[in-house]
Structure 1
Amino acid sequence: MKNFLLLAIACVGVTALFFIDAWLLKGVERKHQEDFLIMSETARIRLENSIQSRFNAVSALEALFIIHPRTKPEEFARFAQSLLEKNPPVRALQYADSQTQVTYVYPPKGNEITITKPMVLITDPKRGPFTRKAIETKKPSLQGPFSLRQGGIGVVVRTPIFDGDKFLGLAIGVYDLPALIKEAVGEERRAGIIMQLADLNDHVFSGPEQLSGMIYRQIVRVLDQTWVMTSMPMEAKKPPQLPRALTWIFGLAGLTAIIIAIRLSWRQTARLEQTVKMRTKELEEANLALARDLEEIQRMEKQLLHAHRMRSIGTLSGDIAHEFNNLLSIILGNTELALEDAPENMESRLFLQDVIAACARGKKVVQQIMRFSRKTPSGKTRLNVGPITTQALKLIRGTIGKGVEFRPRYSPGDGWILGDPQEIQQVVVQLITNSVQALGSAGGLVDVRIYTKELFTPLRVFGQDLPPGKYVCIEVQDNGHGIAPQAMERIFEPYFTTRGFGRNLGMGLSVVQGILLGHGGGIRIESEEGRGTRALCFFPAAEAVEQEEAANGDVIVGGTESILFVDDEESIARTNQIRLERLGYSVTEALDPAKALSMVEEDPLRFDLVITDLTMPGMKGDRLIRLIRKIRPDLKCILCSGYNDAVSDEAIEEIGASAWLSKPAKGLDLARIVRKTLDGLT
């Protein structure tokens, strides 16, 4: 069975690698196709614009005869020469009189046949229709491509010259078609596309006769004619092999590591089980009196194994939460920048505001994961137990049936204490979990209250008397089956449970009681069998923290100071650089803490403020601040991190940071903390 499971895991892993490889190939192919379409569109635009700009030479010749209808041959020659010098693709410039007879031609060389045998264009079978069209429409007419009398393939542009309604003649330009095309799209051919030009009758006059494979057809407008431009890639691009190879190498290596880890885990578990069985049998045979001790040892082993697993999960969840915080920082920063640039009446502003609100919700989720992933207490800070209790209720609601009803009763202003938020959450979760389990499958009511109680005389709690003073009380009451009197004496013993052997064994209320002692408080349990249980936890009260209000509402105050922003995530650094530069600051970004340190060493007076991330490869932000403060002790520094509980106020002061900024941060919060730090208000 185990071998079959390993085979199934291997098959799933290899199949996933095949899908990933196919996805990578498809992405590369799509990128190549997009690049090809962009190059083709660019080639068409350049072709149309370039040809049109060269046809302006004929327009200039038209303007000459409108201004000077009696232009002499030598004047025409000088003017035509200046136009030809600026327009290499022009083979010849001509003028036909009001009878459409070609009278002026420049240059003479190469156009001898046109000079010696002048023709009347309107009566010529080939040229007559295009000449009449130009005169009738009073617009330039294009003829060609065709073989020129001067030799080669070209096109002819005939522009009628009118003085009001009076027809004066024709301004004519003879163009070398291959030169026109080469001048317009030579760069695109070198960039990797093959181009074919044809008329609407599929007569190809430029490029290969046949194209196959991935082709792209476009309409090219040239004066009164329409051409068809067909393009194809010069050569098929091969997908990059290195990313594919790395995907397979790392994928197979990871899959192998997983299979090996599973096999080792099975072997270790089997050995552990065998050892436990042997030791148990030996102890039972040696002395039945040690059975109780053996049970406790087994429980401790299970608890230790559970602790190891939770530690591993905590480490993984912390790393994942940190990466999500960086992603949220990028999304929030760029969305706020887009919102600033969006006009007030744009409907998309609502969508951008929804993204910002979603980022705020995502930040709260990440904060919950961060608290779960912490391995050591973060230290005691001034906090309100109300939000922590609300959060605990949300966590527990998703794990219980519908038969349990929670009734929270507390106000946001109550519940300020000096404590460790992680330990406070552990207390609340333990008390509520006990009440839910006491209700059983039948369900019932769990009443949660938070209030401030002032003791004027000592109050008896478990193991001690609380001295008089002001306390915050967290009260959790259920209407379950209650606790029997004989069990009340043992509820604070480790691993004791009222729900039978093997169910919900753990440290339980003993841990809760230890946490309360560490906070200078105590716990009191009141229960009546058949009526329910009430748990009261007392914490010494602290003064409430006043919420700071911005002096000018949401007005963002900027400045002109010089700021060094350090973060190994390029997108985060770039986004915050734009944010601060829009406020008027001069911002320099550094993606490497070592580079940031060298900047300060080279010119200690260059920056007025340093903003650095805490978690970076090579050097953490707290060490960077310490080194910077050794170079310039008065340089203000702000420390940023997604680990919102990772640094206490005492630690920030010890590091030498002026302020702490939680990621992801809104632009308003960033602007305020920067301005307050620069003004010395932190």
Structure 2
Amino acid sequence: MKLRAKFNLIFAVWIPVLLAGLGFALVILRDLALGPELTRNTFFLFTMIVSAVLLMLFALGVLLLTDILRPLGLLMHAVQEVADGKTDVDIPISTTDEFGILAKNFKRMAVTIQTRQQELEIEKARLETEVFRRTADLCDINESLRSEQDELLRMTQMKDSLESRLRQSQKMSTIGTLAGGIAHDFNSILTSIVSYADMAIYETPQDSPTYPMLENLMRGTMRAQHLVKQILLFSRQMKPEKKYFECRMVLEEAVTLLKASTRKEIRLHQKIETESTRIHGDPTQIFQVIMNLGTNAAKAMKDCEDGDIYFSIDTVELKDQDVKVYEKMKPGMYVRIRVQDQGAGMDSDTVERIFDPFFTTADVGGGTGLGLSVVHGIVQDHGGDISVASQLGQGATFTVLLPAAAAEAGAKQTGPEMLTEKKHILIVDDEADLAFLIKKMLERFGYDITVRISPLEAMEVFNSRPDRFDLVITDFKMPLMTGVQLACELRNLSKDIPILLMTGFSEILDQKILEEAGVSSIVRKPVVAADLNETIQGVLNIQKQSNSNSTQGES
């Protein structure tokens, strides 16, 4: 390419091919510009020098390309890879010059960085594991703290509930004590009513219009006597008295009483599926069981507009495979009592705890939680079992199993053999009216009666002629001396004298102490003439048989 320049000095310029950013330029100067004085040789020499210089520049460019630019490019590429995060780099420079040393050190630096990164990754993984473990520990601790807080809250709530129930139980205990005292006083009043009603029935002809009235009066007073016994049993002022009886009769009586105390919208039904429901137990306690179950059934239906409660009694035989599901039950015949309601029912947790002491589903202050626990204890004390089947919204059915007694067991005999000879009885009671009323009741059976209203007077008259009396009837509670103490004194004077201890339902007497005192039998107030006479005849017959055996032994 030709270029024109000022003074026509430059003849031509060739643009070189650039190599890696470097190159050279060939400049030819016009010969005319150098002046005519230059010779051809001089020009040739100058041309050779310029060519040599250009050749040197070309060689220098090649050297620069191979020994400087290429290693520098490789190093720049390696730096870029390390900057991009790749530490496993390979720099193909094996020279021993500065570039080789730099490449070697750079590669070692990359290896060191890689090692540090691996160590950092390992440490990071370790720290993450440690953090995870610590976090898990913290979660466990938090969960444990939450559990402990929940347990503390539950125990606090249980404590408050138990304290409330304890206060309610203490109130009930106070009420029971008060009821026991009232029942004792009421029983004393009832004794006179029963005795006089009994005397009135005896002295009234059966065809008299007043005779049925007196019978109704007697039935009412006996029901009142039964009620007093229940109150005293509730207040723990009386021990259970077990005997043989028909359980269906207790069920009928309980249902009759429940009908009077249950709102009219709730209908009570009873079904007696067998005639023989004889068991050995305390009728009052079984009555309490049925009343409690019936009352609970009525309470379970408090939110129902109307409904039915079903009472049923029958007998069932438990075989070996059946008793496995019952605790302390033996194969045999059992009287089964069922009480079914149509109330709200119970969930499984409530069913599991329903017989636990102090557990109640009533609102705070609405119950002591002792009802079904007491029922459970009574049933177990009678050798039986109680269970409940219930689901929410489907009511509940309570089933009571009591060991059945043989039909002939405890069957009432025709009565003791009536003694033909006249017997003399000493009656000791600090209540003069009651003492003379009993005297009049027994005189109609042909007894000779002596009455004393003081234990000291009784000891005096007995000591004067001990063989004069065939039997002594003494009250338990008297001033100066109890009936048991009087019995001990009289036994010291005559070791064979039969003694009957007359007491109300409220006294709890130790049988061992009574035997040591020589008490032959206990007579409960109120006294009915026929029952008292039967007891007297039984004791005298035992005494007669004992004396007869002693006489035969001596002969």
Q: For the superposition of Structure 1 and Structure 2, which TM-score range results when normalised by the shorter chain?
A: 0.5 to 0.7
Q: Hey, what does 2:341 align to over in structure 1?
A: 478
Q: Report which stretch shifted further, 365-374 or 489-498.
A: 489-498
1:359 maps to 218
When residues 387 and 303 of structure 1 are mapped into structure 2, their CA distance, relative to the original with a 3 A threshold, is farther
Alignment of 1:457-536 (within 5 A): 457-459=320-322, 464=327, 466-485=329-348, 487-497=350-360, 504=367, 506-536=369-399
User: Counterpart of 1:372?
Assistant: 231
Higher relative contact order (CA 8 A, sep 6+): 2
1:296 aligns with 2:158: yes
Secondary structure of 1:440's match? coil
Q: Which residue matches 2:28?
A: none
Identity %: 30
Rate the CA distance shift 1:367–1:649 in 2: closer, same or farther, 3 A: farther
**Cα pair 2:232 2:506 within 8 Å, conserved:** no
Contact 2:232 2:238 in 1 (8 A): no
Query: 1:436 offset after TM fit, Å?
Result: 1.8
Match of 1:630 among 472, 492, 495: 492
Separation in structure 1 between the aligned mates of residue 338 and residue 169 of structure 2, nearest angstrom: 28
CA distance in 2, matches of 1:334, 1:505: 40
Whether the 8 Å contact between 1:557 and 1:672 is mirrored in structure 2 is no
Q: Quick check: 1:306 aligned with 2:168?
A: yes
1:608 deviates by 0.9
Task: Show the counterpart of 1:449.
Answer: 312
Query: Counterpart amino acid of 1:457?
Result: D
Offset at residue 313 of structure 1 (A):
3.1
Q: Which amino acid aligns with 2:542?
A: G
Contact 1:612 1:640 in 2 (8 A): yes
1:558 and 1:585 in contact (8 A); partners too? no
The AA in structure 2 aligned to 1:483 is M
5+ long unaligned stretches in structure 2: 1-147, 545-555
RMSD (CA atoms): 3.7
Check the 8 A contact 2:427/2:473 in 1, yes or no: yes
CA 1:642–1:513 in 2, change beyond 3 Å: closer, same or farther?
closer
AA at the equivalent of 1:548 = Q
Q: Distance in 2 between matches of 1:527 and 1:324?
A: 41
Give the conservation status (yes or no) of the 8 Å contact 1:458–1:466: no
Q: Partner of 2:412: helix, strand, or coil?
A: coil
Instruction: Assess if the C-alpha contact under 8 Å between 1:563 and 1:585 holds in 2.
Output: yes
* Equivalent AA in structure 2 for residue 308 of structure 1: Q
Does the 8 A contact of 1:525 with 1:535 survive in 2? yes
Aligned-partner Cα distance in 2 for 1:504–1:306 = 7
Does structure 1 retain, via aligned residues, the 8 Å contact 2:435–2:453? yes
| CA shift in 2, pair 1:367/1:666, >3 Å | same
Distance 1:645 1:406 in 2: 36
Q: Secondary structure at the match of 1:466?
A: coil
Residue 486 of structure 1: how far off its partner (Å): 5.1
Larger Rg: 2
- 1 CA distance for matches of 2:383 and 2:528? 37
Superposition deviation, residue 591 in structure 1: 0.8
- Mapped contact 1:482–1:528 kept (Cα < 8 A): yes
Q: 1:562 aligns with which of 420, 424, 439?
A: 424
Q: 2:483 aligns with which of 618, 621, 631?
A: 621
Aligned partner (choices 389, 400, 411) of residue 546 of structure 1: 411
Superposition pairs for residues 160-171 of structure 1, below 5 Å? none
Match of 2:302 in 1: 440
- 1:609 deviates by 0.9
Rounded Cα–Cα distance in structure 2 between residues aligned with 1:400 and 1:677: 45
**CA deviation after TM superposition for structure 1 residue 308, in Å:** 3.1
- Map 1:302-451 onto structure 2 (within 5 A): 302-334=164-196, 337=199, 349-351=208-210, 354-355=213-214, 357-374=216-233, 375=236, 378-379=239-240, 381-384=242-245, 385-410=247-272, 414-421=276-283, 423-442=285-304, 443-451=306-314
Three-state SS of the structure 2 residue aligned to 1:679 is helix
Instruction: Please state whether the residue corresponding to 1:546 is helix, strand or coil.
Output: coil
Once the two structures are superposed, the pairs formed by residues 582-597 of structure 1 within 5 Å of their partners are 582-597=444-459
Matched residue SS, 2:519: coil
Letter paired with 1:471: Y
What letter corresponds to residue 342 of structure 2 in structure 1? Answer: N
The question of whether the paired residues in 1 share the 8 Å contact of 2:165 and 2:358 is answered with no
What SS does the aligned partner of 1:294 have? Answer: helix
| Residue type at the aligned position of 1:629 | R
The code of the aligned residue for 2:539 comes to T
Query: Using the alignment, how far apart are the partners of 1:412 and 1:568 within structure 2?
Result: 48
TM-score by length of 1: 0.50
User: Are the structure 2 counterparts of residues 504 and 675 from structure 1 closer, same or farther at C-alpha, using a change threshold of 3 Å?
Assistant: closer
The Cα shift of 1:649 comes to 7.8
Q: State the distance in 2 between where 1:404 and 1:394 align.
A: 14
Contact 2:388 2:398 in 1 (8 A): yes
1:562 and 1:304 mapped to 2: Cα distance?
Answer: 54
Conserved? CA contact 2:168–2:365, under 8 Å: no
Partner Cα distance (1:481, 1:620) in 2: 54
- Asked if structure 2 preserves the Cα contact closer than 8 Å seen for 1:471 and 1:539, the reply is yes
Taking the aligned partners of 2:377 and 2:196, their CA distance within structure 1 comes to: 46
Residue type of the partner of 2:223?
K
TM-score (norm 2): 0.60
Cα deviations across residues 646-675 of structure 1 (Å, max 9, x unaligned)? 569887656533333333333333333333
| 2:477 aligned counterpart, secondary structure | coil
State the distance in 2 between where 1:618 and 1:457 align: 59
User: Residue 367 of structure 1 contacts residue 644 of structure 1 at CA under 8 Å; is this kept in 2?
Assistant: no
Determine helix, strand or coil for the equivalent of 1:549: coil
Summarize the Cα distance change of 1:458–1:598 in structure 2 as closer, same or farther, 3 Å threshold. farther
Is the 2:357–2:369 contact (alpha carbons within 8 Å) kept by the matching residues of 1?
yes
**Alpha-carbon distance, 1:598 to partner:** 3.1
**Residues 364 and 651 of structure 1, relative CA distance in 2, 3 Å threshold:** farther
AA at the equivalent of 1:452: T
Q: Which residue of 1 aligns with 2:70?
A: none
1:89 aligned partner: none
CA gap of 1:354–1:616, structure 2 versus 1, over 3 A, is farther
CA 1:435–1:651 in structure 2 vs 1: closer, same or farther (change >3 Å)?
farther
For 2:508 and 2:253, the matched residues in 1 are separated by 19
Contact 2:339 2:399 in 1 (8 A): yes
Task: Write the distance in 1 (CA, Å) between the matches of 2:457 and 2:506.
Answer: 26
C-alpha distance in 2, partners of 1:650/1:452? Answer: 37
> Which runs of 5 or more structure 1 residues have no equivalent in the other structure?
1-285
One-letter amino acid matched to 2:354: I
Aligned 8 A contact 2:161 2:364 in 1: no
Q: CA deviation at 1:454?
A: 1.6
Instruction: Please name the residue that 1:572 is paired with.
Output: 434
CA distance in 2: counterparts of 1:336 and 1:489, whole angstroms: 50
How far apart in 2 are the matches of 1:412 and 1:663? Answer: 34
Secondary structure (helix, strand or coil) at the match of 1:435 reads helix
Aligned to 1:657: 519
Whole-angstrom distance in 2 between the partners of 1:427 and 1:510: 11
- CA, structure 1 residues 629+410, in 2 after alignment: closer, same or farther (shift >3 Å)? farther
Distance change (3 Å), C-alpha of 1:520 and 1:586: closer
1:536–1:678 CA distance, 2 compared to 1 (3 A): same
Aligned residue identity for 1:362: T
User: 2-side partners of 1:406 and 1:604: how far apart?
Assistant: 59
- Cα 1:594–1:308, aligned 2, differ >3 Å: closer, same or farther? farther
How many Å apart are 1:551 and its aligned residue?
8.0
Q: CA deviation at 1:321?
A: 3.3
Count of residues in Structure 1 that have an aligned counterpart in Structure 2: 391
Q: 8 Å contact 2:484–2:517 — kept in the other structure? A: yes
2:307 is aligned with what amino acid? Answer: G
Task: Give the CA deviation at 1:417.
Answer: 3.2
Q: Give the aligned partner of residue 534 of structure 2.
A: 672
Deviation at residue 566 of structure 1 after TM alignment: 1.1
1:635 Cα deviation from its structure 2 partner = 0.6
Local SS of the residue matching 1:472: strand
Spell out, residue by residue over 1:537-565, the C-alpha distance to the aligned partner (whole angstroms, 9 max, x if none): 2223334421233589xxx9775222101
